Structure 1
Amino acid sequence: MIDKLGFLLALARERNFRRAAEACGVAQPTLSAGIKQLETELGVLLVHRSSRFQGLTPEGEKVVEWGRRLLGDVRAMRQELQVARGGLQGHLRLAVIPTALAMVPALTLACRRRHPGMRFTILSRTSAAVLEMIENLEADAGITYIGNEKLGRVRSVPLATERYRLVVPAGSPWCGRDAVAWAELAGQPLCLLTPDMQNRRIMDQLLQQAGVAVEATVESNSIVTLIAHVRSGHWMTVLPESVAATMGGAGGLHALPLVSPDAGYRIGLVVPLHDPTPPLTAALLAEALRISESREEV
């Protein structure tokens, strides 16, 4: 039944039989047959069918909810058995908002030092996608904004406060400044993250507080793309302080504090509410708590 529940969860996520089968690594007839067998075992119709997927029945929605819990329990059990056999080891999937990617090594390095058998897959996603992946069991944990928009059924641990820098090319007349007010960005050649990114929504809020509206001439969901445009000498961008610090002045770029308002937004680790917490997720959570406590002591 576990494999069949996995098929149903993939179908609920992908909303398409072919894509769900590809996600599960099986042929489409195998996935369809597995879901039909699950319907027979449970005695209810789970999927509205025609020539294509038309949605889940109310019973199907309930089975998906239970399936997520059961598959989460199975994954936690398997990790517990691995620990019993030979210490904490295994693969942990972490979904991270692009502006927080620079924070990840602090967590992964700390985990690897205590548990050398841990391996990581780190995926860059929007804040909404981070939470969706956790809910759909596609990620074991995430790093995203906390306290700014609703998070749902997760536990969060603050890791850092995000503040913003105006990044300008070498030779820009802004380079000699100590700081720049948000209102001064009006009319400037800006390249910014796309509006589906929470970072961009935060910037728009700060600009609104400053009483100005800006229009980006280039938008991208890639920070690398933004930096490349600034290096061309024709654009400027706004990046979190942690990201600007990783550039280390490479390519002659300059990062200036943005003030008035001088706002900060919390970034944190989010993990699903699951009792017991799977061992790999618990190890990651423990390191996040150590980082959070050390920052509070500073």
Structure 2
Amino acid sequence: MMHPRQLRYFVTIARLRHFANAAQECGVSQPTLSAGLSALEREVGHRLIERDRRFVGLTAHGEAMLPWAEQILGAVAGMTSSVAASSAAITGQFALAAIPAALPLAGQFGETLLKRHSGLSLAVRSATSREIERALNNFECDAGLTYLDHETPANVLSVPLHAERYLFVTRADGPLGNLTEIGWEEASAQPLCLLHQGMQFRRILDARMLDRGLAITPRAVADSYVTLFDLVRSGGFCTIVPDTYATLLAGLQWARCAVLDDGDEPRRIGLVVVNRVPLSPMASTALAVARSLAGV
């Protein structure tokens, strides 16, 4: 009979694409993991993984089975969590995935969550909006922090937490270091370092520029805000970031922030959980915390 342990072996191998690493994560020997996978393949009647002393890839049958295996494991974990929560305080690790623009909101959410539930620990990871949607549907995270008006995950319950504006960041001793506001045309003419176009914030920013008949040609691109700030600090660059980072930049002697004159509606960032029945204890807890932070 198919066992959840075998499904876990299969899902872990598919994610890590390496037998030894998968065995280590599952806490078993590699022969035990291989035997469990072989038993699973006999049970379903099809080869799931192509291998020749190493992982090659999933077969067509493996690709078809993977999302179902992920959902089964997630449902088992949710059931176990619900049973535990019915008789005791909620415990375990709360998994939160956040787009980079929303990471500064994770601190306040996490602080409130852990104050309310001392038996929880918090694991935060950065992810794209599409990765968050996949992780929520596959039970890989309990909640996400993402845009609610742009590439929003489908079939979710959401709580708005922030209305995002744009922030222009430059060196305090630079030629624009005394500005508190700046226009789009002036900002676009500066030597900019920006996120690359694979990042959601950059795609939104590009669209805003095009709406104004402007185009951005950054001198440098990166995949993290930390890198952008270091490029500005080192000199020669300015950047445009979400205003969620304003509090993190406050008090830094080298940095000056100017608000971009933006007549558009601000972009809402908020917490999302999958709209399932029944709602998992972790998802219910996340919604309660977010609603308290939002004052609703």
How much has 1:251 moved relative to structure 2? 2.1
The 1:160/1:260 distance shift into structure 2, 3 A limit, reads closer
SS at match of 2:177: helix
How much has 1:25 moved relative to structure 2? 4.1
1:121-141 Cα deviation digits (max 9, x unpaired): 111222233223333433222
SS at match of 1:245: helix
Aligned-partner residue type, residue 134 of structure 1: L
**Hey, what's the Cα distance between the residues in 2 that align with 1:273 and 1:8?**
27
How much has 1:103 moved relative to structure 2? 0.8
The 1:270/1:25 distance shift into structure 2, 3 A limit, reads farther
TM-score normalised by the chain length of structure 1: 0.87
SS at match of 2:176: helix
**Hey, what's the Cα distance between the residues in 1 that align with 2:51 and 2:286?**
44
The CA RMSD measured in Å over matched residues stands at: 2.4
**Could you tell me whether the CA contact under 8 Å between 1:9 and 1:136 is conserved in 2?**
no
Aligned-partner residue type, residue 274 of structure 2: P
1:258 is aligned to 2:260: yes
**Hey, what's the Cα distance between the residues in 1 that align with 2:136 and 2:33?**
23
The 1:275/1:15 distance shift into structure 2, 3 A limit, reads farther
2:276 counterpart residue number:
274
**Could you tell me whether the CA contact under 8 Å between 1:45 and 1:57 is conserved in 2?**
no
**Hey, what's the Cα distance between the residues in 1 that align with 2:244 and 2:112?**
18
Corresponding residue pairs, total: 292
1:125 is aligned to 2:123: no
1:172 counterpart residue number:
174
1:49 counterpart residue number:
50
How much has 1:154 moved relative to structure 2? 3.3
How much has 1:170 moved relative to structure 2? 0.6
Which shifted more, 46-55 or 3-12?
Answer: 46-55
The 1:4/1:165 distance shift into structure 2, 3 A limit, reads same
TM-score normalised by the chain length of structure 2: 0.88
1:226 is aligned to 2:228: yes
The 1:197/1:186 distance shift into structure 2, 3 A limit, reads same
**Hey, what's the Cα distance between the residues in 2 that align with 1:203 and 1:255?**
17
Which shifted more, 194-203 or 182-191?
Answer: 182-191
SS at match of 1:203: helix
1:17-38 Cα deviation digits (max 9, x unpaired): 4554454344444333212211
Percent identical across equivalent pairs?
34
Aligned-partner residue type, residue 179 of structure 2: R
Structure 2: gaps of 5 or more residues: none
